[in-house]
Amino acid sequence: ETGVTQTPRHLVMGMTNKKSLKCEQHLGHNAMYWYKQSAKKPLELMFVYNFKEQTENNSVPSRFSPECPNSSHLFLHLHTLQPEDSALYLCASSLGRVSNQPQHFGDGTRLSIL
Amino acid sequence: GESVGLHLPTLSVQEGDNSIINCAYSNSASDYFIWYKQESGKGPQFIIDIRSNMDKRQGQRVTVLLNKTVKHLSLQIAATQPGDSAVYFCAEMNDYKLSFGAGTTVTVRA
């Protein structure tokens, strides 16, 4: 059982819909991350939160809006997405914004934009 | 720009043989490296890590080798099993941020 849980596992939405992805970690970590994984491409870092504060926004379009209410929960709010946003969205957590510590991933949300 | 890459996108291995997956990195400032395994329908799973002050680290059936001189990282899997079929990613860390390679798909032949 993974220590990082993502819901939903699959999501199909139209371009005008609003939806949210949820991530919860049970590892006692302080840093959480959103990544985008597209076919045949390396994982792309989107956002980083450390102790609930956003420390990184990797030039992500504003149609993606993250929220981190506490160190255990992370959301990604979606609005007016484009077909090229279809991908696997992965959440990860780590002990903190430090080096030499692995990130642990959830199983992702497979997002399809119609 | 600097990137992490894998030498081969696919690797086919006979069950029971040893597997070697290679990775080249270009950022000499990276001080920590991780290998991940991703099975179909799942997220990347941590396999093993190594710090830049080491050149070898062993786990259960896996060994990671780091050659900082040529900026090369490898993952060796002993006695490869069908359950080892997956995509393997190397990742390098610099300033707490991870950069990932594109992955090598390992297929184990029975």
Across B59-103, where does the E strand assignment appear? Answer: 62-67, 72-77, 86-94, 97-100
Q: How far apart are CA A31 and CA A43, in angstroms?
A: 18
Cis peptide before A8, with omega less than 30 degrees from 0? yes
Q: What is the pLDDT of residues A58-89, one digit of tens each?
A: 899 999 999 999 999 999 999 999 999 999 99
End-to-end CA distance of chain A: 32
- Residue A71 tokens read as 């160190």
Smallest Cβ–Cβ distance between A102 and the set B3, B31, B49 belongs to B49
Q: What is the pLDDT of residues B56-92, one digit of tens each?
A: 999 999 999 999 999 999 999 999 999 999 999 999 9
CB contact under 8 A, B95 and A42: no
Smallest Cβ–Cβ distance between B43 and the set A40, A97, A107 belongs to A107
What does residue A73 show for φ and ψ, rounded to 5 degrees?
A: -125, 140
Given a cut of 90, whether residue B95 has pLDDT beyond it is: no
**CA triplet A46, A40, B89: central angle to 5 degrees?**
75
CB contact under 8 A, B32 and A99: yes
Q: What is the pLDDT of residues B29-45, one digit of tens each?
A: 999 999 999 999 999 99
Which residues of chain B are within 8 Å of residue A99 when distances are taken between CB atoms?
31-32, 93, 95-96
> What pLDDT does B5 receive?
58
How many Cβ atoms are within 10 Å of A52's Cβ, its own excluded? 15
